[in-house]
Amino acid sequence: MSQYTVIQRLLFSPLVALAIVSCGNPASAQVQDPLAYAQARIVKIFGAGGMKNLHAYSTGFLVSPEGHVATIWSHVLDSDEVTAVLSDGRKFTANVVGAEPRMDVAVIKLTGDVKDLPFFELNDAKSASVGARILGLSNMFKVATGDEPVSVLHGVIAAKTKLTTRRGAFQTPYEGDVYIVDAITNNPGAGGGVLMSLDGKLLGMIGKELRNAASNTWVNYALPMTDLRDVIDQIIAGVYVAEKKPDEELAPERYNSLDFGVVMVPDVLFRTPAFVDRILPGSLAAKSGLVSGDLVLFVNGELVQSCRNLQSELGKLEGQDDLKLVVRRGKNLIEFEMRVPNKAN
Amino acid sequence: MPMALIITIPPHGSAFRQVRLVALMASLIAGGFADLPAADLKLSILEETAFKEAAARVDPSIVQIQTVGGLDRVGKVLTGTAPTTGVVVSEDGYVISSAFNFASKPASILVRLADGRQFSADLVATDRLRMVTLLKIEVKGLTVPVAAPKADFQVGQWSIAMGRTYDFKTPSLGVGIVSALDRIWGKAIQTDAKVSPINYGGPLVDIQGRVMGVLVPMSPRGNTEIAGVEWYDGGIGFAIPLVDIQATLDRMKAGVELKPGLMGVDLEGRDIYADKPVVSRVRAESPAEQAGLKKGDLFTEIDGKKVVNQSQIKQVLGAKYAGDSVKVVVSREGKSIPAELKLVDKLVAFEAGFLGILPDRLATADEKGGVVVRYIYAKSPAETAGLKVGDRITKFNDATELSIDKLTDIVARVDPGDPASLTFEREGKASTVNVKLASVPDAVPATLSSVAITPGEKKDDGPKVGRFSRKIPGHDNEFWAYVPEDYNPDHEYGLMVWLHPNSDTMEATIIKNWRPICDLRGLIVLAPKAEKLGGWTLSESQAITDSIKKFQEDYSIDDRRIFLHAYSSGGTMAYHTAFKERELIRGLAIVSSALRTQPPDNTPLYRMQILLNCGDKDDAFRTVQATAAGLKRLKFPITNMIGKGRAHAYAPANELDEIARWVDSLDRI
């Protein structure tokens, strides 16, 4: 497809007016026309799925001239072979080369005699700060077929944050920072799409459709390319070995409040606040100065919103850990520190 | 590249011009005017810098709020446990936030300042009109942000929505433009920046780093803390202007709950955009009554603004609090009369007037016009005035061309105790009488003969009759139904919607008791089933509503006699559905179940008649009596039946006969 058509199509959308500004920017030495450059490197992926209303399509981007495509690790790749459609409409079958489910990334390779394809140079990827303008490219809703260019959205980086910081709020294993964007990028099929800066630098890979259980909202996020590129390179080189992490016990119950001499109020509601009912005389808590009626708010910096939260935080402690509690007494917040006692097994 | 010239970045405010100037200067330094695309790239980069700088300016005034305890859902909406956001409004520890963030009624509120210090906060007051909540922490020397004056607000200008929920260090930001001003009846700025629980309570900031408003969920249809949350991230977000909040800050600091202000008039008609603002009723003891407003007055001005329809009044009044004053001019008999009203937060409840007749449904449907009397209530205004069965009411006060609906509406809008004149025809002769309207009686007529229904023709392709079960189209719920075998579409049928208690459809009991009533009085039973028989979920009210609408399409249903009937735990669903679907449902007949939520106000717009039935040995007896008393205080027409000696059980046959007579008189006027 010619550059002209891409721009012509996009011109009709005020959303990408900003992108066009940068299209004409001669200062960007490597990329004359960031959108056309990116569109040529984006791949529409069709695969397994389709069961239980799961969509069977996603997006990817070329990362080698031989047809390696980085994409999101999802059920779309569950079958042995998937179909990849390039921006010029050519259709290839592709196999999964490898994946790192913990980073939600996979690499597939186009089969057959493939060479000299345009690709993203991962080393050119950069990072961006909150407020930076971005473009998101993906085949959301499978709206583009054949040689049609994928959809472009614009927005800014709304936040850079970890998705896992809040206990159980997100169902994702990725532990690093992600970009949250203020555009509605994470739609069906958008996973594996590209987040880039106005001057055409790769910033991230658009993530899955993900719900934030703590605020009951959908999250639009992308995984930073600077964190993904080594993994992608290693998967391509066939040298990637998934880092073995010891499986963490899901909900350890090593300690509870009684181990410190604290009797909590009866846990009757889903969110019963963590009020201290009474303190056992002579206990660790009594020596520290906790009293009946204190409301425990933080355990080692983690907010506890209920009795249940409190017990699960205490459950994670180990002998000789420092335990720092913040309680509300009247209008004041008071901090207590104590050493976790060893427990006879 | 000339195409770059078409770029029209929305803002036109002074901020934009500033940035643009800087951009041009920058491009001069960079290489001259000729290089326009470079200038425009610089412009967009400068704008990006401006977003970040504006955000940085407000950053110290944005606090994070955490809550502990509280409800896990409000209505159907799950309340979040995530942190939320607030904005400092005074140096000495006051923080404003969205009322949404406290809808769960948390046991404890924590505020964390931008510098990391943490405080326990008190909830001082909530503004129930603008849905913002004021918090207080014990600290001094907070950074108060600069408020953008309203004169600078412009549709199209940049607006940055900020929150402090994701990452404590750096507030989140979303960029958009101002989409509209004075939204939600004059209260809110509308923006296309992404607004959601992630930033409710946070500031909407202009490109100079001044706070335009505080982000809130809001909806033109609904006034709870959670109304409008369904629009989150939808390109339609709202912010309450900070200058408006500042104007009420002293009152809120004093702990005053701010409430919407009411005048106390009902207006004629239902279409607020098409209908003229003509007073149909002045509420007793209301500001309107004290100011001397009268039925028939036409509003021509409100607070100096000319008005020709009802929405323009709502636009002005929608932004006012109880205690505020409003100046109006009304036109009465060609004269302009000015008045000043001090608004109140509560009105004496609306009570419908009652004439004391049942309309003859079939005879009234003929071409002659007017409403034919089927039945006269004993000791009613109609009886006192000498009306008789068969009379045709042709005029009520000034209204002619009467239909049942029209007469019902006009009579309801006259206060009980007020006089009215009424013209009727008897044997071709017209007479006019004066009546004094009464309250709707609690008692059901002791006898009420049914309307004879001529059996319809049996048709193979006609709608299904008898007892049958189906699925509700578009839902997973099933229903069963009973339509009289001799169904005749020339008659209009009442529709009883039976909502079963948990774990028991009671199909056999209902069909046995109600089949004879249906056949006698022209009634159809529709019984949707909960998707999980164990119990209803409130969201299933949609399935119930859709099943009713389907029956309205398939059968000849009298819209005035659609009512919900429920026993025990089915009652919760019935109350919920009836008060949610007020345009559709006209009655509630509830056995052994109390209302546990705040009912809406009685209004002439949506008629609702309620029958409660409970045994005096029933566990629910006390709460059902409290329900009856509460609804009566709100002036809903209540029939309160007490089953002597009955424990928790469905109504026996003799009581059902009374309920049947109540059903047959749901169209009383």
Mean pLDDT lowest among A16-25, A332-341, B381-390: A16-25
- Rounded CA separation A154/B9 (Å): 13
Ranges of H-type helices in chain A: 3-11, 17-23, 34-39, 225-237, 284-288, 307-315
Contacts B165 to A, Cβ<8 Å: 215
From chain B residues 127-186, the ones with a CB under 8 A of any chain A CB are: 138, 161, 165-167, 170-176
In this prediction, residue A10 carries a pLDDT of: 37
pLDDT above 90 covers a percentage of chain A that reads 54
In this prediction, residue B603 carries a pLDDT of: 84
> B89 or A32: which carries more pLDDT confidence?
B89
In this prediction, residue A31 carries a pLDDT of: 57
In this prediction, residue B295 carries a pLDDT of: 87
Tens of pLDDT, residues A186-213: 988 999 999 999 888 999 999 988 888 7
Please give, rounded to a whole number of angstroms, the shortest distance from the CA of A295 to a CA of chain B.
9
Per the CB < 8 A criterion, the answer to whether A40 and A32 are in contact is no
- Rounded CA separation A297/B536 (Å): 36
| For B197, nearest residue in chain A (alpha carbons) | A215
Mean pLDDT lowest among A228-242, A276-290, B216-230, B621-635: B216-230
pLDDT of A29 above 80 = no
In this prediction, residue B234 carries a pLDDT of: 81
What mean pLDDT is predicted for residues B60-80? 78
Per the CB < 8 A criterion, the answer to whether B605 and B352 are in contact is no
B135 and B275 in a single domain? The answer is no
- Rounded CA separation B200/B216 (Å): 5
Tens of pLDDT, residues B580-600: 888 899 999 999 999 987 788
pLDDT of A25 above 60 = no
Among residues B342, B368, B393, the one where a domain terminates is: B342
- Rounded CA separation A327/A299 (Å): 9
Subunit contact A273:B68, Cβ cutoff 8 A: yes
Q: Let me know if the fold of A3-237 is the same as that of A257-339.
A: no
B233 and B315 in a single domain? The answer is no
pLDDT of B365 above 80 = no
Q: Residue A113 burial (CB < 10 Å; 0-12/13-18/19+)? A: exposed
Tens of pLDDT, residues B619-659: 999 999 999 999 998 899 999 999 999 999 999 999 999 99
From chain A residues 285-344, the ones with a CB under 8 A of any chain B CB are: 295, 297, 303-306, 326, 328, 331-333
Q: What are the DSSP E strand ranges found in B217-319?
A: 237-241, 265-267, 279-282, 298-302, 305-306
B625 and B533 in a single domain? The answer is yes
What mean pLDDT is predicted for residues A18-31? 41
Considering its fold, how many domains does chain B have in total? 4
In this prediction, residue A15 carries a pLDDT of: 40
Contacts A297 to B, Cβ<8 Å: 68, 108, 110
B177 and B303 in a single domain? The answer is no
Tens of pLDDT, residues A55-88: 689 999 999 999 999 999 988 888 778 999 999 9
Amino acid in the structure at residue B641: M
Encoded tokens for B399: 């209204």
- Rounded CA separation B451/B175 (Å): 65
CATH code at position B403: 2.30.42.10
What mean pLDDT is predicted for residues B115-125? 94
Mean pLDDT lowest among A297-311, B195-209, B561-575: A297-311
From chain A residues 240-279, the ones with a CB under 8 A of any chain B CB are: 269-274
Contacts B66 to A, Cβ<8 Å: 303, 305
What mean pLDDT is predicted for residues B475-502? 94
Mean pLDDT lowest among A26-30, B292-296, B419-423: A26-30
Contacts A331 to B, Cβ<8 Å: 120, 122, 138
- Rounded CA separation B278/B255 (Å): 37
Subunit contact B173:A156, Cβ cutoff 8 A: yes
Contacts A22 to B, Cβ<8 Å: 41, 44
pLDDT of A269 above 80 = no
May I ask the CATH architecture of the domain A257-339? Roll (2.30)
Instruction: Tell how far CA B415 is from the center of its chain.
Output: 24
Subunit contact B41:A198, Cβ cutoff 8 A: yes
Tens of pLDDT, residues A154-190: 999 999 988 854 445 566 778 889 999 999 999 889 9
> A8 or A59: which carries more pLDDT confidence?
A59
What mean pLDDT is predicted for residues B79-103? 91
What mean pLDDT is predicted for residues B44-66? 94
B281 and B228 in a single domain? The answer is no
Per the CB < 8 A criterion, the answer to whether B515 and B498 are in contact is no
What mean pLDDT is predicted for residues B171-178? 95
Is A211 near chain B, with CB under 8 Å? Answer: no
pLDDT of B32 above 70 = no
- Rounded CA separation B476/A224 (Å): 43
- CA-closest candidate to residue B10, choices A17, A25, A130: A17
B650 and B587 in a single domain? The answer is yes
Residue B93 DSSP class: T
CA distances from residue B432 to A79, B301, B399 in whole angstroms, order as listed: 85, 37, 13
A344 confidence band (pLDDT: 50, 70, 90) = low
| For B67, nearest residue in chain A (alpha carbons) | A305
Residues 6+ apart with CB under 8 A from B273: B309, B310, B311
Is B5 near chain A, with CB under 8 Å? Answer: no
B188 confidence band (pLDDT: 50, 70, 90) = very high
> Of A17, A24, A212, which has the smallest distance from its Cβ to B82's Cβ?
A212
Residue B49 DSSP class: H
Is A23 near chain B, with CB under 8 Å? Answer: yes
Subunit contact A297:B68, Cβ cutoff 8 A: yes
Question: Is B502 domain-assigned?
Answer: yes
Tens of pLDDT, residues B440-449: 999 999 999 8
CATH code at position B567: 3.40.50.1820
B36 confidence band (pLDDT: 50, 70, 90) = very low
Mean pLDDT lowest among A195-199, A274-278, A284-288, B536-540: B536-540
Q: What mean pLDDT, rounded, does chain A reach?
A: 83
B191 confidence band (pLDDT: 50, 70, 90) = very high
Is A21 near chain B, with CB under 8 Å? Answer: yes
Question: Is B24 domain-assigned?
Answer: no
From chain B residues 324-363, the ones with a CB under 8 A of any chain A CB are: none
Please give, rounded to a whole number of angstroms, the shortest distance from the CA of A214 to a CA of chain B.
5
Strands A276-279 and A295-299: unpaired
In this prediction, residue B632 carries a pLDDT of: 92
Q: Alpha-carbon torsion B212, B218, B223, B225, what sign?
A: negative
Q: Give me the domain span that covers residue B433.
A: 353-439
- Rounded CA separation B287/B247 (Å): 23
Question: Is B218 domain-assigned?
Answer: yes
> From 3.20.190.10, 3.30.1450.10, 2.40.10.120, 2.60.130.10, which CATH number describes the A3-237 domain?
2.40.10.120
Please give, rounded to a whole number of angstroms, the shortest distance from the CA of A232 to a CA of chain B.
27
| For A302, nearest residue in chain B (alpha carbons) | B66
CATH code at position B213: 2.40.10.120
Tens of pLDDT, residues B123-155: 999 999 999 999 999 999 999 999 999 999 999
Question: Considering the entire predicted model, what is its pTM?
Answer: 0.68
pLDDT of A3 above 80 = no
B517 and B632 in a single domain? The answer is yes
Q: What mean pLDDT, rounded, does chain B reach?
A: 88
From chain A residues 121-140, the ones with a CB under 8 A of any chain B CB are: 129-133
In this prediction, residue A28 carries a pLDDT of: 39
B82 confidence band (pLDDT: 50, 70, 90) = confident
- Rounded CA separation A214/B84 (Å): 11
B242 and B288 in a single domain? The answer is no
| For A295, nearest residue in chain B (alpha carbons) | B108
- Provide the number of CB pairs (under 8 Å) joining chain A to chain B: 160
SS3 call for A133: strand
Please give, rounded to a whole number of angstroms, the shortest distance from the CA of A27 to a CA of chain B.
7
B309 confidence band (pLDDT: 50, 70, 90) = very high
| Best residue in A6, A21, A270 for a mutation probing chain B (most B CBs within 10 Å) | A21
Per the CB < 8 A criterion, the answer to whether B97 and B59 are in contact is no
Each domain of chain A, given as residue ranges in start order, spans: 3-237, 257-339
Please give, rounded to a whole number of angstroms, the shortest distance from the CA of B82 to a CA of chain A.
5
| For A32, nearest residue in chain B (alpha carbons) | B1
Subunit contact A21:B197, Cβ cutoff 8 A: no
Amino acid in the structure at residue B302: I
A345 confidence band (pLDDT: 50, 70, 90) = low
Question: Is B641 domain-assigned?
Answer: yes
What mean pLDDT is predicted for residues A140-147? 88
Per the CB < 8 A criterion, the answer to whether A208 and A104 are in contact is yes
Please give, rounded to a whole number of angstroms, the shortest distance from the CA of A285 to a CA of chain B.
22
B152 and B219 in a single domain? The answer is yes
B166 confidence band (pLDDT: 50, 70, 90) = confident
What mean pLDDT is predicted for residues A265-280? 86
B534 and B555 in a single domain? The answer is yes
B335 and B216 in a single domain? The answer is no
- Rounded CA separation A334/B330 (Å): 61
In this prediction, residue B38 carries a pLDDT of: 62
pLDDT of B284 above 90 = no
B553 and B524 in a single domain? The answer is yes
| For A154, nearest residue in chain B (alpha carbons) | B175
Among residues B278, B309, B342, the one where a domain terminates is: B342
Subunit contact B69:A182, Cβ cutoff 8 A: no
The sheet carrying B371-376 orders its strands as B357-359, B371-376, B392-396, B419-426, B429-436
pLDDT of A19 above 50 = no
Tens of pLDDT, residues B516-548: 999 999 999 999 999 988 889 888 888 999 999
From chain B residues 29-48, the ones with a CB under 8 A of any chain A CB are: 37-38, 40-41, 43-45, 47-48
Tens of pLDDT, residues B349-364: 889 999 999 999 877 6
Half-sphere exposure of A145 (CA within 13 A, CB side): 2
> Of B80, B118, B174, which has the smallest distance from its Cβ to A215's Cβ?
B80
| For B107, nearest residue in chain A (alpha carbons) | A273
> Of A27, A159, A304, which has the smallest distance from its Cβ to B167's Cβ?
A159
Residues 6+ apart with CB under 8 A from B77: A216, B103, B226, B229
Question: Is B450 domain-assigned?
Answer: no
Question: Is B29 domain-assigned?
Answer: no
SS3 call for B509: helix
Quote the Cα angle for B633-B635-B639, to 5°: 95
- Run of H or E residues at B572: helix B570-580
From chain B residues 59-88, the ones with a CB under 8 A of any chain A CB are: 66-72, 77-78, 80-82
